[in-house]
Amino acid sequence: MTAEGAIAEVRATHIGPKKELHNPKSEAPKKTESKWKRLIQNLKKEDSLNQPRHVLEVLTEIGISEKYSLVKSEIQAQIKKAQGVMPDVFDKSFGIDIFVGKIRDQRQLEMKQENQILQTPESIRKILTALQPDSVDDISTTKFLGDSILLTSANGVEIQLTLPTEQKMLRDPLTNHLGLQINAQKMKGVSTETNAIVSKLAAEQNNADSLLQTTQGIVDYVSMVKEVLPAEISREKQKMDSIKDKEKQRADWLIDESIIENNPIKSRLPAEYAKTPEELRERMKTLKYLPAEAEMRQAFKGREKEFDQFCFENEVYELYTQEFVDSISRYLISRAALYQNNIDSTNLRPIRIVEVGAGRGQMTHFIKEKMQELGIRNDQLEIRATDPNIWSEDLGKTVIDVENLDAEKAVQKYQPDIVLFSWIPPGEDLSPALRQNSVQEYVLVGEELSGNDRTWGKNVIFDKDVMADYEKDGFYKQYLGEGDDDSLNLVHGQLGRGQIKEGIDDSQHSTTIAFIRE
């Protein structure tokens, strides 16, 4: 027997007639004897019925060697069969680890029984109890490492059994040993008494009866492990567990629409308003200043005719306000939540929104900022800006990354669920590019004088028997802005060029219209 620190080991190659353990490789002779005298004595021992027997012979005789060899082969075959299916139960990175604690908990839950399965062998339980009398400890992992079985308890106690084999017998019988090592160095709650307890436990195993009993208990335990290993029937459980995990991931991924109702609209206080167009222009140089609608109207009060010139000088078609950004962001969140239903749980991805013709990217910047404020995550929704044109440098660069793509290429590249387009260029219809297969909805912001008649379906307004182009492609039109007939009145605070003047006609005010796939 050897002991060092909180580790102690018993090993033997032979068992004597009085059940004593022998380890000739490490035992020094008691006295020097002549070569011939030792030879004569050894010959006499071979003739004696009471000579020490090799541990392999003893284990073979009582059936332990055969049982362990068979069980180990069956476990290896079973793990190979189940490899990749149950990664939480096996680990083959170094030796073979079987997480028996998980198996025990799963099987007990499945079988709904009170009696514990995979009970720790009595001889091992005595060791665990002696080390920690006030703690209930069980084996959590069984590891096969070469010719050894390593049992690790939940509290970190390691008990390793090394078995003799026929292969090692051919090489060197005197190193082909039966060994039991108790290691409490990693045990939770190691105390000053641990070393002495470990040494005492090893001493109790330092006789043939105790060592063979413990060996038998460990091999029987491994046999029980084989019986409760997940078999083919558990593949279905793994599938069910995987489905449950995906359902849990999906539940976390889904947008909680209550954030729209539970977060009141925030607007700048009147005391913080810019007082004049000049002050407003100065603030807007950063491209990140977002005025309130009332702030704009107050700044231009009595100077309404200057508003169009202000927009022209600042290269503004739509002057985004706090109210507009807040309301369109909430609308897009509600639509994204709806379109999440089209995405399978096995392929969760963010709802994709692409703004085309984004200019300096202000609308995308403000909407993205508002969505983050409302708690929308990047794995739920992503929004990006694209534009094919280069804007003048004297008013500053883009406020957000704007990718140089035209509408058709942007939709082809990103396969968005929703497309945004503010002030579609007048005189041409770019809407067909927005109706590609991935698109569930495209939202146009601006006057209905932008684009052309085909964009809005006005080319067939007087012919009820002819469908508009968007209708042919399976879309219907829904007004979202204020003041429009049949509008849902969901988007507020829009200010386009010319919109501060009094008495403008309906076609000259900025609005928001969604074209939704049926």
Find the CATH number of the domain harbouring 463: 3.40.50
Q: Are residues 220 and 325 in the same domain?
A: no
| Tokens 């983050």 sit on residue | 372
Do the domain assignments include residue 389? yes
Please tell me whether residues 61 and 145 are part of one structural domain: yes
Q: Are residues 266 and 167 in the same domain?
A: no
Radius of gyration of the chain (CA): 40
Residue among 386, 389, 390, 379 nearest 402 (CA): 386
Residues 261 and 167 in one domain: no
Picking from 180, 204, 239, the residue at the C-terminal end of a domain is 239
Q: Which H or E run contains 74?
A: helix 64-82
**Angle in degrees, CA 456, 459, 463, rounded to 5:** 120
Residue type, 192: T
pLDDT at 168: 84
In a domain, 260, yes or no: yes
Is 231 a member of any domain?
yes
> Do 102 and 7 lie in a common domain?
yes
Q: Which residue, of 192, 214, 239, is where some domain finishes?
A: 239
pLDDT of residue 390: 61
Same domain, 194 and 305: no
Q: What distance in Å separates the CA atoms of residue 491 and residue 513, rounded to the nearest whole number? A: 10
Give me the pLDDT at residue 232, please: 47
Whether 246 is in a domain gets the answer no
- pLDDT for res 252: 94
**Does residue 222 sit in the same domain as residue 315?**
no
Instruction: Give CA–CA dist 335/77, Å, rounded.
Output: 52
41 & 158 share domain:
yes
Residue 249 lies in a domain: no
Does 278 map to a domain? yes
Query: Given this model, what pLDDT does residue 233 score?
Result: 40
Instruction: Judge contact between 478 and 513, C-beta under 8 A.
Output: yes
How many domains does the chain contain in total?
A: 2
Shared domain check, 140 and 281: no
* Backbone phi, psi, residue 178, to 5°: -105, 125
Cβ(187)–Cβ(194) below 8 Å: yes
Is 354 in contact with 411 (CB distance < 8 Å)? yes
207, 298: one domain = no
Determine the structural domain holding residue 392 and report its residue range: 254-517
Q: What 3 state SS string does 309-348 have? A: HHHHHCCCCECCCHHHHHHHHHHHHHHHHHHHHHCCHHHC
- Asked if residue 452 is part of any domain, the answer here is yes
Q: In whole angstroms, what is the distance from residue 189 CA to residue 156 CA?
A: 10
Separation of CA 454 from chain center: 46
The three-point CA angle 444-450-452 to 5° equals: 100
Strands 381-386, 351-356: parallel, antiparallel or unpaired by DSSP? parallel
- The tens place of each residue's pLDDT in the chain, 518 residues long, gives 666 678 899 999 999 888 888 886 665 444 444 554 555 555 555 555 568 889 999 999 999 999 999 988 888 887 776 655 555 676 776 777 777 777 777 655 555 444 456 788 888 989 999 988 877 778 888 898 888 999 999 889 999 999 999 888 887 878 889 999 999 998 988 888 898 999 999 999 999 999 999 999 999 998 888 877 765 445 556 677 777 888 899 999 999 999 888 888 888 899 999 999 899 888 988 889 999 999 988 888 888 778 878 887 777 788 899 999 999 999 999 999 999 999 988 889 999 999 999 998 999 999 999 999 999 999 999 999 999 986 555 555 788 899 999 999 999 999 999 999 999 999 999 999 999 999 999 999 988 888 999 999 988 877 778 899 999 999 999 999 876 667 888 999 888 776 665 545 445 678 899 999 99
Point out the domain boundary residue: 216, 239, 262.
Answer: 239
Residue 248: inside a domain: no
Q: How many CA atoms lie within 13 A of 229 on its CB side?
A: 30
Same domain flag for 213 and 100: yes
Whose tokens are 């541990």? That residue is 55
Both 345 and 371 in a single domain?
yes
